């Protein structure tokens, strides 16, 4: 599911940026409408040039005492040049090098606000998304993207959040579906998108990498972070989870 860093170790990041996180859209089409800012692709390192094997010297034969010519032994074949080792630097958990600049557009969404402890965060957000989808069904509405989670405050005990599910169009004349479920919009603006492809329990390492990336590049973030969950997992330790994390810039 979506959310902030889930453990005590990750809280300094949340507190440092006054974290306001928002995650992505539900099991529907693409996430927010986005305009991609082209970035210079990293130049691929050319394969290491193979050193040609030195040719074997010609075989030298001693004259036969009987005067009969001796057939020279064939030269040993040159050892085939070994191909360069495959690149093993693929992206892993917390690899902030996989980033993309975007212009994220706002979208209408249904929203439910709440709070949770760090230990119960995954279940709390899962339940919140279930309530949102149930409310959409009861109002003959459908989602238009993946679930979102906006974190509005954090402390040592837990966090406050706004769980969101985007919709195609806000219903006319309505500001809420129930007293607890409001009609609002997803965050928008210039952002950098990072990837997390691992369990929910391991997302802290990705936030640490993002913090290091922002420091290295000298980028100043708004108090707005977003997680977009590309799929849904039943448990926080499922390594199949795919999350895009959006860092909104000033």
Query: How many C-alpha atoms does 103 have within 13 Å on its Cβ side?
Result: 4
Whether residue 209 has pLDDT greater than 80: yes
Q: How far apart are CA 38 and CA 40, in angstroms?
A: 7
pTM value > 0.75: no
Higher pLDDT, 139 or 95: 139
- In the chain, the number of structural domains is 1
Average pLDDT estimate for 203-219 = 92
Name the token pair of 64: 């036969």
Range of the domain at 212: 8-37+93-249
Per-residue pLDDT band for 99 (boundaries 50, 70, 90) equals confident
| All residues at 6 or more sequence positions from 127 whose CB lies less than 8 Å from its CB, including other chains | none
Whether residue 201 has pLDDT greater than 50: yes
Q: How far apart are CA 11 and CA 1, in angstroms?
A: 18
pLDDT digits 0-9 by tens, 138-151:
999 999 999 988 87
pLDDT digits 0-9 by tens, 27-48:
334 455 455 554 444 444 444 4
In a domain, 73, yes or no: no
pLDDT for position 96: 62
In a domain, 59, yes or no: no
Closest to 236 (Cα-Cα) out of 78, 118, 113, 88: 118
In a domain, 70, yes or no: no
Q: CATH number for the domain including 33?
A: 3.20.80.10
Taking a C-beta distance cutoff of 8 angstroms, is the pair 230, 204 a contact? no
In a domain, 81, yes or no: no
pLDDT for position 97: 57
Closest to 166 (Cα-Cα) out of 142, 194, 191: 142
Q: Is 110 helix (H, G, I), strand (E, B) or coil?
A: strand
In a domain, 181, yes or no: yes
pLDDT for position 95: 61
In a domain, 115, yes or no: yes
In a domain, 67, yes or no: no
Whether residue 72 has pLDDT greater than 60: no
Q: Is 65 helix (H, G, I), strand (E, B) or coil?
A: coil
In a domain, 229, yes or no: yes
């Amino acid at each position: 599911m979506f959310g902030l860093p889930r453990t005590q170790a990750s809280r300094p990041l949340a507190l440092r940026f006054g974290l306001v996180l928002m995650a992505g859209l539900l099991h529907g089409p693409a996430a927010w409408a986005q305009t991609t800012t082209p970035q210079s692709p990293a130049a691929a390192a050319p394969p290491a040039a193979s050193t040609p094997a030195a040719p074997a010297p010609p075989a030298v034969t001693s004259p036969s005492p009987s005067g009969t010519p001796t057939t020279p032994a064939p030269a040993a074949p040159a050892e085939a040049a070994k191909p360069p080792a495959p690149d093993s630097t693929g992206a892993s958990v917390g690899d902030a090098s996989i980033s993309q600049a975007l212009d994220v557009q706002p979208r209408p969404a249904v929203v439910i606000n709440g709070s949770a402890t760090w230990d119960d965060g995954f279940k709390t957000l899962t339940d919140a998304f279930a309530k949102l989808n149930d409310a959409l069904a009861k109002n003959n509405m459908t989602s238009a993207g993946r679930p979102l989670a906006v974190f509005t405050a954090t402390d040592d005990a837990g966090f406050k959040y706004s769980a969101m599910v985007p919709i195609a169009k806000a219903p006319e004349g309505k500001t809420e579906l129930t007293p607890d479920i409001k009609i609002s919009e997803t965050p928008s603006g210039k952002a950098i998108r990072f990837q997390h492809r691992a369990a929910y329990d391991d997302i802290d390492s990705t936030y640490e990498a993002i913090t290091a990336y922002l420091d290295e590049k000298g980028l100043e973030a708004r108090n707005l972070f977003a997680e977009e969950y590309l799929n849904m997992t039943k448990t926080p330790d499922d390594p199949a989870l795919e999350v895009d994390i959006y860092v909104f810039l000033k």
